[in-house]
Amino acid sequence: MALTHRVLPFSAGTLASVAVSAALGYLIYRLLRLGRRPAYLPPGPQTQAIWGNLKQCDPSFPQHQYADWALTHGPVYTVMQGDTPQIIVNRATEARDIFVKQGAYTQNRPPFRSIMLLRDGYFPSLMNGSKWQNARKMWQVVLSSSAIKNYIPYQELESEQLLLDTLNEPLLWYDHLERFANSVGMVMVNGYRITSSSDPIVKETVEDLYDLSRVGFSGNMLDFWPFLERVVWTLPIYKLGRRMAKKHKDYIWKNYFGVKQRAEQGTRLPSFNRTIQERLQEGWTEVSELEGAEIGQHLLSGSTDTVVSTLTTCIAALCLFPDVQRKAQEEIDRVVGLDRLPRGEDEINLPYIQQLLLEAQRWCPAMPLCVARVTSGPVSWGKYNFPENTGLTINTYAIHNDPELYPEPHIFMPERWEGRIKAAHGENQLLFTFGAGRRFCPGKSLAEKSLFIAIARWLWAFNTSHATDEEGNKIPIDPKDLRPGNIVRIKRFSADVQPRSPQRAGVIRRVWREKCDTLLDENHQWKTNPERIAESMKMECDI
């Protein structure tokens, strides 16, 4: 008997129903696969559908969970940030291997969609290709080793006001630190000193940095689930991002055009933004005026937030570890004496102060997670070959708390750097506060010089200890209670800051009086150009 096949008729409605079911099934399949770790990457903690590992971490301080996972999964493993894989590097040896030895292919940045929304699509240190290269060339000119020596008069003057302000208002020491760091950057970038911690520009700068650090670098759904970029206007981050972008642009234009206004009024202190304006008038085309202003703003922010964070760490450590303060002051007194303040050139003769600053970077790193990178070529680790555009992050916190490198890592111990000061950032790099490889922070040397001058002079001038309550009990300081963000900082705390002697207080007042008489005008702005500053700001690079 012949077998026949009967074809059942399908209605249009049936076909549509099948199509919808198939599409829905595929969508469910894709959704359930969101958050799964690719098999070709190093294994890591178990993931959850859609979320990956996001719900297993404190979104403000993921570095702690990352360090814990390294104990189980090894120094290099993969986490899923939503549907975006990120390789976390938790040990110095592997960080040097991946980011330094293979640095040619690990220097690019990921898209950072959320930050680009907050900055209208341009953020110099997160760009790739020519946009990044142009910005870095401009920074390198004004941040070269020879140029940095010329900024010491700025740093010394601002530190002298820091001492005077703290002498007069010791309870406001935290605000005075912010003014100090902000003013060093402001005078370099815009040719304008910040003469008071109550100047609104201090608050504006701190808020601008904190907004970006808190909202942008903490990541959000745009970076975790990239497909959402197609409907970004429907998301809460969109309105917030547009509002913050406008606020930021108003802020940088205020600083940038303030340089022009002061030049028109006859105040022509050399500055980074003034040089950019002159070069643009001469025909530079690779950098727009807005990009130039943003590049200058990066120089300002880079000399502010990390410096304040590290100085705050130093103050906390002096309170919590009084023996460190005693040893540091003994060294300063032996080298400097009672009749003058420490100077920039004293650094080579003050190794314990250098060690103290390295330990501050280790003990409470300003940037506990380095800004992420992506691979741009063949990168390998062990048996794994990372494909192009694989996300990579250094867990600075984990490296700086590695007990094999740093026994008793919770103890603030400058002695651990004795005899290996250069190893901190040398070929066998041990500290990663300023990054690693070809994206190493170009402002590192400037920041370190500001840190040295400020803390050496602080230790020369003041005794710093726990503040006490009305009953004489010490007010606790918790170095783990941090302000969240890409750059963290110990939250504001009370400290008792007292001059070490009337003689030292007299030196501070005398030095400031002399500087006011010789260098500053009636508004406490520079009335003469510090020697060789104009040379440092020439920026005759071919971009």
Question: Mind spelling out the 3-state secondary structure of 92-122?
Answer: HHHHHHHHHHCHHHCCECCCCHHHHHHCCCC
Instruction: Collapse the DSSP code of 418 into the 3-class scheme (helix H, G, I; strand E, B; otherwise coil) and give the result.
Output: coil
Distance CA 416, CA 56 (A): 34
Distance CA 186, CA 191 (A): 7
Distance CA 469, CA 182 (A): 31
80: which strand partners? Answer: 85
Instruction: Collapse the DSSP code of 375 into the 3-class scheme (helix H, G, I; strand E, B; otherwise coil) and give the result.
Output: coil
Instruction: Collapse the DSSP code of 464 into the 3-class scheme (helix H, G, I; strand E, B; otherwise coil) and give the result.
Output: strand
- 441 assigned binding-site residue: yes
DSSP for 307-358 reads HHHHHHHHHHHHHH-HHHHHHHHHHHHHHH-SSS---GGGGGG-HHHHHHHH
Q: Burial code of 286-314, b = ≥16 C-beta within 10 A, e = fewer? A: ebeeebbbbbbbbbbbbbbbbbbbbbbbb
Q: Which residues contact 418 (CB under 8 A, 6 or more apart)?
A: 351, 355
Q: Which residues contact 353 (CB under 8 A, 6 or more apart)?
A: 328, 331, 332, 347, 452, 455, 456, 459
Residue with tokens 């002159």: 278
Distance CA 300, CA 470 (A): 40
Q: Which residues contact 107 (CB under 8 A, 6 or more apart)?
A: 373, 376, 437, 438, 439
Q: What stretch of H or E contains 85? A: strand 84-89
Q: Which of 333, 397, 324 is nearest to 355 (CA)?
A: 324
DSSP tag of 523: T
Binding residues for heme: 441
Binding residues: 441
